[in-house]
């Protein structure tokens, strides 16, 4: 299990470094990351069938969101807009789909919201202090870094990001 964790952290940091430095990430890292997440589920004695329900819900949420954003920009621009062509990178979408293979539904929504807010605030601050102005936000890279922190916190504090129980207990308090 430790070996899988080290590989996952390595891949997340590689995604972070690649996206920050070149605003692009090798596509094959994302299916590899998703496969590692499935292996982690199975090594934690999760049943294979129990793993797929949150994956389907998380993926459906993302696909619906991508579709809604595409429809919004298509209506605004009065022609079909593919959000992967300039608005949101393929790496950004593939990263979110790959972590959908690990997180439970509420943990996925928590990560998604927190990471988007953190990335926007970080990027706005960086653009304010940096002499280099760049319109492209390294979303996948910054989210990979934030996800690394989420995973490290999970592994150190032993609250399970693959199960919503800890979050539901926190909300109930």
Segment 10-30, tens digit of pLDDT:
999 999 999 999 888 999 999
Residue 167 tokens, joined: 């979050």
Under a CB-based contact definition with an 8 Å cutoff, are residues 44 and 72 in contact? no
Eight-state DSSP code of residue 103: S
92-109 per-position pLDDT tens digit? 999 999 999 999 999 999
Lowest mean pLDDT among 8-22, 39-53, 142-156: 39-53
Lowest mean pLDDT among 60-64, 97-101, 159-163: 159-163
What pLDDT was estimated at residue 35? 94
36 Cβ contact list (under 8 Å, min separation 6): 4, 7, 8, 11
The answer on pLDDT for 84 being more than 80 is: yes
Q: How far apart are the first and last CA of the chain?
A: 32
Q: Tell me which residue has tokens 């470094």.
A: 17
The answer on pLDDT for 85 being more than 90 is: no
Residue 165 tokens, joined: 């129980």
Eight-state DSSP code of residue 77: H
Residue 155 tokens, joined: 């592994």
What is the C-alpha separation between 47 and 122, in angstroms, rounded?
38
What is the C-alpha separation between 123 and 119, in angstroms, rounded?
6
Under a CB-based contact definition with an 8 Å cutoff, are residues 12 and 140 in contact? no
3-state secondary structure of 128: helix
- Residue range 26-39: average pLDDT? 93
């Amino acid at each position: 299990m430790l070996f899988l964790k080290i590989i996952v952290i390595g891949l997340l940091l590689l995604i972070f470094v690649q996206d920050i430095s070149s605003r692009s990430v090798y596509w094959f890292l994302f299916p590899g990351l998703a496969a590692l997440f499935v292996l982690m589920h199975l090594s934690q004695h999760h049943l294979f069938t129990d793993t797929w329900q949150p994956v389907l819900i998380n993926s459906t949420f993302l696909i619906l969101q991508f579709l809604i954003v595409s429809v919004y920009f298509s209506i605004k621009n009065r022609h079909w807009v593919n959000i992967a062509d300039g608005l949101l990178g393929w790496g950004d979408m593939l990263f979110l789909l790959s972590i959908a293979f690990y997180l439970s539904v509420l943990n996925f929504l928590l990560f998604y919201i927190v990471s988007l807010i953190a990335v926007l605030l970080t990027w706005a601050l960086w653009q304010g202090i940096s002499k280099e102005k760049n319109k492209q936000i390294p979303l996948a890279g910054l989210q990979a870094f934030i996800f690394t922190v989420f995973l490290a916190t999970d592994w150190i504090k032993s609250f399970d990001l693959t199960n919503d129980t800890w979050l539901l207990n926190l909300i109930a308090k």
